[in-house]
Every structure is written in structure tokens, then in C-alpha cells.
A = this chain, B = another copy of it.
Amino acid sequence: MSGLRRAAARAWGPPRALRAFSARPRDRETLTGKYGEDSKLIYDLKDQGGELLSLRYDLTVPFARYLAMNKITNIKRYHIAKVYRRDNPVMTRGRYREFYQCDFDIAGQCDPMIPDAECLKIIHEILSALQLGNFLIKVNDRRILSGVFAACGVPESKLQAACSTVDKLNKMTWEDVKNEMVGEKGLTPEAADLIGEYVKLHGGLDLVEQLLQDPRLSHNKLAGEGLRDMKLLFEYLMLFGIVDKISFDLSLARGLNYYTGVIYEAVLIQQQNDRVEELVDVGSVAGGGRYDGLVGMFDSKRQKVPCVGVSIGIERIFSIVNCKVKASKEKIRTTETQVLVAAPQKHFLAARLKLISELWDAGIKAEMLYRENPKLLKQLHYCEDTGIPLAAIIGEQELKDGVVKLRDVATRQEVDIPRQKLLEEIRRRLES
């Protein structure tokens, strides 16, 4: 995860106030009513003494709770930690019941779309740095979706349910989505058909302009706000130089209840004969949006703290990187050991222990075999097998001469180095 950490450290503080997120598994009610249909995937703990507790489902709700409890109205932070979902795991695709998320969030009063654009820049930066292949960031806005649903005749009360259904469009055909809307969610077939026309749309700034002129949406206040903000967002993303990876996509809904404004999701894509195809196997690798009401839900005075954030799906990304590594058949070192301390004769364990201790104390990454009298050949093979570049060999002659034999494992060249110059020489070799 060090790549992620580096990206995260660039402009974000370290994961502050670690404790505040984790005094104990959370009271069950903290999580109630935040996740919509997905609530059934929450892991509950057994009642072992009158406490109803659950495992956290994501990092967003705990973050919002933390802000409210500590009266924090302004913070920017990242957080890498585990979340739990009682879902059907698919190991090969990086879908687990316990998995890591990496979240970035910006909380506080800001002018429109500035932090939102930064979240998209972060996604772009991470996915580019990891060289996962081509990707696309779909963007939409809950207010635009609300406007579309309202214009299509969906009553306010059925809005969230309609959102959840539209969110399944990447897994289900439009036919099935429509059936669910009409059958389960109680929309009229006419409303569903009209929604179908809108959610097919995707494009760039031109689509935003087109919808701003759409007569059905022009009277809807929320849709107007959403579209004007979307225009602003595109302007900022242009300045960030990432607009070519952005798609304004009206089918993007995101299932979670707490989003209030812009929403986004990154997917990997494949260019095939002029056709862009989504790699549906892994699903989205990052997603997020604006949630201006969530902090207020935890505050006794309902004080709102506007927030926008993004979650990176670490396991899904790992599974893709893993596939790439396997395909390339490159041998990857699993340790960072720089020097193996070895001896050519028996009865040199004490000398090895003393030498390795000196190397450790000097901050050099060193190993030795955990045997009293290992064969020299075995020690040298170990270097070759694990990719350790140097061997520091100490035996009878070396001890007598006050030197250590330094062996370059790749070239097999050996040079006697005076003991007091050893650290310096090792550092010199490691740098070059």
C-alpha cells in the first residue's frame, strides 16, 4: 500500500485521531438508516452484556460521527482501514467480507465544486500512478437525478428506491431494471420509460449544456443547481488536466442513502475495435460523492458540516495488480534485506551475531540463517533465491585479519574490507 500512502501523504494530513474512530465496535444505531438497501449486509455482534454493536460498513459514517462528536467543522484527512460486509465474497475478483478501504474526505464550508474537483483529481492521480490500465471516472449529481425522476413523474417518496434500482444498471439489463421499478418500486411504466431515456445519456460538457436547455428539467430547481455545478466542475477538471477521463453519466446513481450532491465512480475500461468496454469483472475501483447531511444526523443540534469524499477499493486494485504481476512472470522480491551475514566455517555463530548486531544498529537491513553452523553454499544460495544483493562473510582468516569479506551476490566478486570501513562500503554499494 506504500504507493497509496505516498499519494495520500502528498497533500493530506496523516490519519489523525486514530482513536476516535475505534474505541470499540460501534453502537448498532450509529449505522441504522444510512445505507439504504445495503443495510442487510451489516455484521452485528452477539449481545454479550446488553450492548448492541455492529462492525463498520464503511469509513464515511464513522468519520461523520467523529466530526459531530468532536465538534469538528473543518478537516481534511485520509484513512486506510478495514470495513465489513456480510456479502457473498468472490476472492478472485478482490471482493471480500472484510476488506480495506482508503478514504479521503474534505469537510467544511467551501465554495462550490472546489474540494469536489480535488477528490476527482485524487482518484485520477492514484489510478494513473498505479498503472492499472485505461480508466474512466463517471460523474453524476444526486440533485440532477432527483430532477430527472421528478420530471418523469416519480413522487418524492419513491426517489431513494428509484435511485437504488438505477444503481443496478451496470449489473442488470434495462429491461430488468424497468421491471423492478414498476413491479417492486411501484413506478408507472410511463415514468420508467421516460427515466430510461435519460439514464442512457452520457457525455461531457456538451451534455451538461444540452440538459440545461431541456424543457422538462428547466423548471426543476434542484436539477438546475446540479447542472450549473456540474458545469463548474468540468471547468475545474479542465484546469486540473483530467477532463478526458471524465464521463457525465446519468445512469450513475450509487445506492447509499447519504449522498446529497455530486457522485462519482471509477471503472477500468478496455478499448476493443473502437468500442469502449467496462471491465465489469472487478466493478468500480473507486467511488464517492458529496454528503452534506450526514454529520448533522449525529449532532444533537443538527449542525450541518458539508463533506465530500472518495473511497479507494484497495483489494480490487490489489487483485488487478496481482493478475498483472502473474501475467508478466517477473520475479518480485518479498523482502528488502540488503546484506546476509554468513560464515564459511563451523563455530562462527558468535561472530555472526556480533556482526549482524552492528549492521542492525547502523540501520542496515540484514539477515542471517538461524543455524549454528550452516554450510556456506546454503547461505549463498539463500542470497540468490531471495535476491539479497550482498553477503558479509566472516571466518577464521577474516577475524584474524580484522576484515570482512564482502561478496557481490550477482557478480560473485569478493573483496576484503577492513572492519571499521565496512558500514561505509556497504552503504556505498547499496547506493550505486
Which residues of chain B are near A214, meaning CB under 8 Å? none
Decide if A96 is an interface residue (CB 8 Å cutoff). Answer: yes
Which residues of chain B are near A46, meaning CB under 8 Å? 43-47
Decide if A105 is an interface residue (CB 8 Å cutoff). Answer: no
A25 and B239 contacting across the interface, CB-CB below 8 Å = no
A66 to B: closest C-beta gap in Å: 14
Decide if A11 is an interface residue (CB 8 Å cutoff). Answer: yes
B370 and A115 contacting across the interface, CB-CB below 8 Å = yes
Q: How many angstroms between the C-alpha atoms of A19 and B240 in the bound complex?
A: 35
B106 and A14 contacting across the interface, CB-CB below 8 Å = no
A187 to B: closest C-beta gap in Å: 31
The 8 A CB mask of A295-319 against B (1 = contact, 0 = none) is 0000000000000000000010010
A25 and B367 contacting across the interface, CB-CB below 8 Å = no
Which of B108, B241, B354, B363 contacts A370, CB < 8 Å?
B108
Q: How many angstroms between the C-alpha atoms of A16 and B334 in the bound complex?
A: 8
Decide if A174 is an interface residue (CB 8 Å cutoff). Answer: no
B22 and A370 contacting across the interface, CB-CB below 8 Å = no
Q: How many angstroms between the C-alpha atoms of A11 and B235 in the bound complex?
A: 49
Q: How many angstroms between the C-alpha atoms of A335 and B344 in the bound complex?
A: 50
Which of B16, B18, B96, B111 contacts A371, CB < 8 Å?
B111
Which residues of chain B are near A98, meaning CB under 8 Å? 22-25
A245 to B: closest C-beta gap in Å: 14
Contacts A46-B44, A315-B19 given; does A125 touch B360 at CB 8 Å? yes
B353 and A239 contacting across the interface, CB-CB below 8 Å = yes
Decide if A366 is an interface residue (CB 8 Å cutoff). Answer: yes
Decide if A384 is an interface residue (CB 8 Å cutoff). Answer: no
Which residues of chain B are near A337, meaning CB under 8 Å? 11
A43 and B43 contacting across the interface, CB-CB below 8 Å = no
Decide if A350 is an interface residue (CB 8 Å cutoff). Answer: yes
A219 to B: closest C-beta gap in Å: 28
A215 to B: closest C-beta gap in Å: 31
Q: How many angstroms between the C-alpha atoms of A250 and B67 in the bound complex?
A: 48
Contacts A12-B335, A13-B335, A108-B370 given; does A25 touch B84 at CB 8 Å? yes
Which residues of chain B are near A357, meaning CB under 8 Å? 121, 239-241
Which of B25, B81, B110 contacts A43, CB < 8 Å?
B25
Which residues of chain B are near A108, meaning CB under 8 Å? 370
Which residues of chain B are near A198, meaning CB under 8 Å? none
Decide if A82 is an interface residue (CB 8 Å cutoff). Answer: yes
Decide if A209 is an interface residue (CB 8 Å cutoff). Answer: no
A365 and B10 contacting across the interface, CB-CB below 8 Å = yes
Decide if A206 is an interface residue (CB 8 Å cutoff). Answer: no
A/B interface sample: 30 pairs, CB < 8 A: A10-B364, A10-B366, A13-B334, A13-B335, A13-B336, A14-B334, A16-B334, A19-B96, A19-B318, A22-B82, A22-B96, A23-B89, A23-B97, A25-B43, A25-B97, A25-B98, A43-B45, A43-B48, A46-B47, A81-B82, A111-B349, A111-B371, A111-B372, A114-B353, A121-B357, A121-B360, A239-B350, A239-B354, A240-B353, A241-B357
12 more A-B residue pairs beyond the given contacts A22-B96, A22-B99, with a C-beta to C-beta distance below 8 A: A10-B366, A14-B335, A16-B334, A18-B318, A22-B82, A23-B89, A23-B91, A24-B97, A46-B47, A114-B371, A117-B353, A240-B353
